[in-house]
Amino acid sequence: MQHEDDLRGLAKVMEFMRAISILFVVIHCYWYCYGALKGWKLTIIVLDKILLNFQQTAGLFDRPLWTKLFSVVFLALSCLGTKGVKNHTITWTKIWMVLGLGIALFFLNFWVLTSSFPKNITAGLYIFMVSVGFICLLVAGLWMSRLLKNNLMEDVFNKDNESFMQETRLMENEYSVNLPTRFYYKKRWNKGWINVVNPFRGSIVLGTPGSGKSYAVVNNYIKQQIQKGFALYCYDFKYPDLSEIAYNTLLKNTDKYPVTPKFYVINFDDPRRSHRCNPINPVFMTDIADAYESAHTIMLNLNKTWIQKQGDFFVESPIILLTAIIWYLKMYKNGKYCTFPHAIEFLNRRYTDIFPILTSYPQLENYLSPFMDAWEGGAQDQLQGQIASAKIPLSRMISPQLYWVMTGDDFTLDINNPDEPKILCVGNNPDRQNIYSAALGLYNSRIVKLINKKGKLKSSVIIDELPTIYFRGLDNLIATARSNKVAVCLGFQDFSQLIRDYGDKESKVIQNTVGNIFSGQVVGDTAKNLSERFGKVLQKRHSMTINQQEKTTSVNTQLDSLIPASKISNLTQGMFVGAVSDNFGERIEQKIFHCEIVVSQAIVSAETKAYKKIPEIVNFTDPDGIDRMQEEIDLNYWQVKQDVLTIVKEELERII
């Protein structure tokens, strides 16, 4: 009832303004056609005095334009409150045509007053043109008002309803990662911030190829965490893209660390630019369970399908055999030959040689009992199958360059050791992914064990293109490493990719335990899952019913997705949706974001041009200037083989 009264009151105001507008037109014609009207005996003495007073005090009739402008202003105001039924034959083309005609007749008729026509013809023509022009302006105004008010299709993608206020404060602390943003809200773009105030709760960066996840997010994680004194482990699938960023950022920020960290690289493609590191260093293996972890990681990286079959006989058998060999090398001569290349070469000896050697150690008897039972029971086919399951995959890793890198001890993998902090980048090669991923997975599993301890330096683990490598223990690292100041950032393309390569159970744990999530364009179930994660919000809905007699408009509210899956599936490059976590004392009321992460291409381009290349680490050139790299690598390769032959010979002599 109150609403109807308000509408009636508004209608009366609009009618009053239109009357004033018409009054100004009448007064205008009366003043400027006064001579003709006097001859027609249409003048009024009282009105003459009133208008003369207006002219003397306000100069209202100094120029014909003033009264016309007043008339048009009141006409426009009266059209704002127009209530009428939309006519579907009205188009903007018609409106502009009528409006143009009205302006021409109403404003551009001054030439009539100065023409040489007789007085009566001049006045009649002028009044006619002003009247028709005013009617055209009135019609155009009414049509325009109705078209604008009745247009429910101006936001066909529901952009305004699905926009929301986001975080505009910069919330920075000693661990935070802060990304500047632009977001759309209330029909304009606003500046904001994504504040990852607690990176130790884990971060995921999703996005199809080219969505900008590395450029906008992962690169910033590397830069900002080095700038804040983090020890860093970076898996660089497309080496040296991320490694060069880490190296050059470290050069500018060595003063941010209590102890200056050292930069290390593992790069199987170019031994000149690679340090050497033994991932199964016996010093850091305190239990046979550590050997099992290493063997498990290697075999599952070489056979991704085994991830879904963990526990099967022909999956566990080669893992157990490799575990026994690694632990044997750890015990033999205090681990002098405990390297992964030595383990591969030892496994490739005849089983009639290696089984007697391994079973001569009481610590390994139980591990090897299934193999010995098959051997002693005459089940040669079973035994050959068990051994081949280990030999065949591992034989793909027999490479002189890989042997060179994995037999040295330039550094240890405790990257967050406060006394010896490290920035470690390991490089993969998409062309040799299947071979290198297994070796790098071994480094990963050892690092997970070594960094997840109390009393260490704050550290970060950044894995881009996660599904290209099997990272054993990753789910446990995310769940338990927060108190040990280990921040994990994982980049991959889609949840289905993670499920394919890590299995349903482990991938679900990774998805559900991270506190910070960034997503560029993703589709399908991943987009649906993210939309559900972001929840629903109360949105306003308009509906309109129009017939020839009346128009009915209704407004209601309903809960709908804050960020629908369809929006996530069509994000522009550089646009991200996601959510962040907060801390006690650092509350973030609006954790969800839908924005463009601002990255200055000019600044990034200038930085990239100024980057220094990662220098050569090993010089294989002899005093005569001859490159001896291949010679030294081959020499190391044959030395490993000779070491294993010597071990087997000495051990068989000991047993006999």
In whole angstroms, what is the distance from residue 455 CA to residue 203 CA?
23
Q: Which uninterrupted H or E stretch holds 445? A: helix 433-451
Alpha helices in 503-628 (DSSP H): 504-513, 524-534, 565-568, 601-610
pLDDT at 420: 93
Residue 521 Ramachandran class (φ > 0 left, ψ -120 to 50 alpha, else beta): beta
Closest by Cα among 323, 329, 342 to 408? 342
Q: Which pLDDT belongs to residue 404? A: 93
Please write the tens of the pLDDT for every residue from 259-279: 999 999 998 888 888 999 998
Helix (H) or strand (E) holding 557: strand 551-561
> By the 8 A CB rule, do 530 and 561 touch?
no
- Report pLDDT for 290: 86
Contacting residues for 185 by C-beta, under 8 A, at least 6 apart:
163, 164, 165, 166
- At 524, is the secondary structure helix, strand, or coil? helix
User: pLDDT for 288-322, tens place per residue?
Assistant: 888 888 888 888 877 777 777 776 776 788 888 88
DSSP labels, 197-246: S-GGG-EEEE--TTSSHIIIIIHHHHHHHHHTT-EEEEEETTTTHHHHHH
Residues of the chain with pLDDT under 70: 1-11, 39-43, 46, 48, 56, 60, 80-89, 113-114, 146-158, 311, 314, 378-379, 538, 540-556, 656
Contact 379, 362 (CB under 8 A): no
Edge-to-edge strand ranges of the sheet holding 516-519: 188-196, 177-185, 592-597, 575-579, 516-519, 203-206, 486-491, 459-464, 231-236, 422-427, 262-267
> Would you say the pTM of this structure is higher than 0.85?
no
DSSP 586: B
pLDDT reported for residue 157 = 62
Instruction: Report how far residue 175's alpha carbon sits from residue 227's, in angstroms, rounded to the nearest whole number.
Output: 10
Burial (Cβ within 10 Å: 0-12, 13-18, ≥19) of residue 451 = buried
Q: What is the CA radius of gyration of the chain?
A: 40
Asked if the bond preceding 64 is cis, omega within 30° of 0, the reply is no
Task: Answer for the pair 488, 474: CB distance below 8 angstroms, yes or no.
Answer: yes
How is residue 641 written in tokens?
């083989």
Give the model's pLDDT for residue 232.
95
Structural contact between residues 322 and 343, judged by C-beta atoms closer than 8 angstroms: yes
Q: CA triplet 590, 595, 598: central angle to 5 degrees?
A: 120
Q: How far is CA 225 from CA 169, 253, 458, in A?
A: 20, 10, 10
CA dist list (Å): 243 to 114, 212, 237: 82, 18, 10
